[in-house]
Structure 1
Amino acid sequence: MVAAGVNGSSMLISSLAASRVEVRSVWAYNLDQEFALIRSALPFHPFVALDTEYPGIVVTSKNPYCTLTVTQRYDLIRANVDVLRIVQVGLTLSDAAGNLPYTLYNDGTFVRYVWEFNFRDFDIDRDRYAPSSVELLKANDIDFQKNKAYGIDSRCFAMHLMTSDLLSLGHFSIVSWVTFQGAYDFAFLVKMLNGDNKLPQTLHEFLALVRYYFGERVFDVKHLSKHCRGLYGGLEKVASTVQVERAVGCRHQSGSDSLLTWQVFYQIASRVNPELINRLEHKGVLFDLALLP
């Protein structure tokens, strides 16, 4: 390996499908070195797209979801996250021009990359899960026995996260976070950062913790898309509408999904509706719990 790059070329994120992108698979044995790489890349790549994978939804509402208040939707999220265990976390770092971190190897190979963290917390023989969700994760190459044997303890991940400069911790931060319907994503991270304790009882307390840990610049692509004519549906649907192709991996793999989330965000921000981000940021409306699944 010759260099880990921080500034990259002017390649647009929408053209990543024509470039080589790798998912850096992170386990307990390489967690330290991968967080060191993230810390070195972060000052030059302050946009962080987040995705999580978890074993489905096990607590449901008796009432139609569309009739629930925002507070009731949070209560449903809390009930699920409190009893579920994380499977994967995906992180994509980028600069404002859409460039990912890269490595230039001795043979001249130029590779951009994203991260996929694999956790040992979920035990399929012990923990609650939705069978259909677990089968879907298995079909997309998630090996639960490998995770159990070699995966990361979420408490160790949380300690690394706390010292990684990714978090705001109540102070000004250069980092902007990007998700797609990200309430579950942030709920799982808040749970980990709080020592695997239960989520706060109230929505107000939860949002306060999201702001404390992740700052004020939290962009939910699902929320942004509702302000753009013709954008609706899940991540795959929105990506197809804005003509973004998945650059690596497949759906329900957190590294791949975090990258697709970033690609869609970048496309909306730079081409579909470039004034939207500044307008919504000025209003402070970046994260919309009313759109939760």
Structure 2
Amino acid sequence: MQTLKNIDSTDGEDIEEKIVERRTLTPANIDLDVQKDYKGKIVAKEESMGRDLFRIRDVSAPNLVNKFSLIQEILDNYVDVAIYCDFPGVAMRLVGDFEKSMGRDLFKIRKVWDPNLEEEFALIRATVDEYPYVAVYSEFPGVVMRPVGDFKNTVDYNYQALKGNVNISKLIQLGFTFSDEKGNFPTDGTGKYLVWQFNFRGFDLTKDVYASESIDLLKQSEIDFEKNNNVGIDLSRFGELLMSSGIVLNDEIRWVTFHGGYDFGYLLKVLTGRRLPDTLEEFLKLASVFFPVVYDIKYLMKFCDRVYGGLNKLAELLGVEMIDTCHQAGTRSLLACHAFMKMKDKFFNGSPEKYAGVLHGLVNEED
């Protein structure tokens, strides 16, 4: 057993004789360091750190004043303070016209309804020459039917499924993100980058067919189906304005999509006012007229190392920031645009032209 007593201070003066601690020496605690505590007593401090060396002083209303008195006593000798707090988390997000240096607030989602449709298309017509890349993303009621019968191959089956679903269901929302070849975006008068999100009327939860999981996701993403039917865009009117916008029937426009068969299926249905063609060959021929240059990111991924998965996973692998986790068409088109620009420069030296014109799932793998 060992007792510490009659220990001189560092300035050579004797201090009060006190027994500080009685300890059994072992290999684990033999290396001790002696120092003063805040009251001038001598304490033995182990070099190794462990939970038994610390005492958590729980502070509540009854002992609050006492604990603050103790804190005041030690402040002169212990001036470095580490702080950490626990709280219930972020329970709300401000909305309004405020700016931040990065992230979601650099972008403005222009939500397009029937009353502002013509105004927004006028802005698009003024944008398209300088920003000829158009990333598109559609929200629809999901896959509600599977074709049955004999099919020539998987591609034939895929198209028959696409055709059947597009023909019997209705487009809910469409997103457009415009950029130039370097990934720059158009801006408004406040300096925010612009993304367009079109909201359509016509889909009725009480009458139309839909896939429950798809509609549940859209509800969670705050798509207001009642508002869509009250002030949403008539699809035939949208088709007329889209036809004269300068972004279709234009071989200077580069369309960007992710697994885009359904995106262009719904667009062709809107533009022609007709059901989709019976055969894949007719569909692809029609698509090439309205959308001469198309890049399908999902198809491009076949030629890239170590990228896989859906759009969210691809963005993660490429280090592309998601400005919003909501599953709405505007932000999804923006994410597709970001991912494409990153892939174009990283894997294709800025020139993926040889892979244009192919929609994933609608081409034979050997082609």
After TM superposition, the score normalised by the length of structure 2 is 0.68
- 2:272 corresponds in structure 1 to 194
Q: Which amino acid aligns with 2:361?
A: L
Deviation digits for residues 172-205 of structure 1, max 9, x if unmatched?
A: 521010000000000000011111x211000011
- 1:129 corresponds in structure 2 to 210
Higher mean C-alpha displacement, 27-36 vs 122-131? 122-131
Q: Which has the larger radius of gyration?
A: 2
Separation in 1, partners of 2:358, 2:280: 16
- 1:180 corresponds in structure 2 to 258
Query: Do the aligned partners of residues 190 and 18 (structure 1) sit closer, same or farther apart at CA in structure 2, a change above 3 Å counting?
Result: closer
SS of aligned partner of 1:43: coil
Separation in 2, partners of 1:289, 1:205: 16
- 1:207 corresponds in structure 2 to 284
1:50-89 to 2 correspondences below 5 Å: 50-61=136-147, 69-89=154-174
1:255-270 to 2 correspondences below 5 Å: 255-270=330-345
The answer as to whether partners of 1:92 and 1:114 remain within 8 angstroms in 2 is yes
- 2:302 corresponds in structure 1 to 226
Query: Do the aligned partners of residues 130 and 246 (structure 1) sit closer, same or farther apart at CA in structure 2, a change above 3 Å counting?
Result: same
SS of aligned partner of 1:245: coil
- 1:101 corresponds in structure 2 to 186
1:165 aligns with 2:246: yes
- 1:11 corresponds in structure 2 to none
Deviation digits for residues 62-81 of structure 1, max 9, x if unmatched?
A: 69xxx952011100111111
Query: Do the aligned partners of residues 16 and 268 (structure 1) sit closer, same or farther apart at CA in structure 2, a change above 3 Å counting?
Result: farther
Gaps (5+ residues) in structure 1? 1-14
The answer as to whether partners of 2:125 and 2:246 remain within 8 angstroms in 1 is yes
Separation in 2, partners of 1:202, 1:48: 27
Separation in 1, partners of 2:128, 2:301: 27
Q: Which amino acid aligns with 1:25?
A: K
Q: Alignment identity in percent?
A: 39
- 2:121 corresponds in structure 1 to 35
Gaps (5+ residues) in structure 2? 1-100
The CA deviation at 1:120 is 0.2
RMSD: 2.2
Separation in 1, partners of 2:251, 2:185: 19
Separation in 2, partners of 1:131, 1:291: 29
Separation in 2, partners of 1:24, 1:161: 16
Separation in 1, partners of 2:102, 2:158: 36
Q: Which structure has the highest helix share of the two?
A: 1
Separation in 1, partners of 2:153, 2:218: 28
- 1:4 corresponds in structure 2 to none
Query: Do the aligned partners of residues 288 and 18 (structure 1) sit closer, same or farther apart at CA in structure 2, a change above 3 Å counting?
Result: closer
The CA deviation at 1:30 is 0.2
Which structure would you say has the larger RCO, counting Cα contacts within 8 Å and 6 or more residues apart?
Answer: 1
Separation in 2, partners of 1:233, 1:61: 25
SS of aligned partner of 2:352: helix
Separation in 2, partners of 1:269, 1:175: 16
The CA deviation at 1:276 is 5.7
Deviation digits for residues 34-80 of structure 1, max 9, x if unmatched?
A: 000000010100000000000111102569xxx95201110011111
Separation in 2, partners of 1:268, 1:117: 27
- 2:74 corresponds in structure 1 to none
Query: Do the aligned partners of residues 275 and 163 (structure 1) sit closer, same or farther apart at CA in structure 2, a change above 3 Å counting?
Result: closer
Separation in 1, partners of 2:102, 2:277: 39
The CA deviation at 1:290 is 4.2
The answer as to whether partners of 1:50 and 1:92 remain within 8 angstroms in 2 is yes
Pick aligned residue for 1:49 from 125, 132, 135: 135
Separation in 2, partners of 1:187, 1:230: 30
Separation in 2, partners of 1:88, 1:268: 26
The CA deviation at 1:252 is 2.1
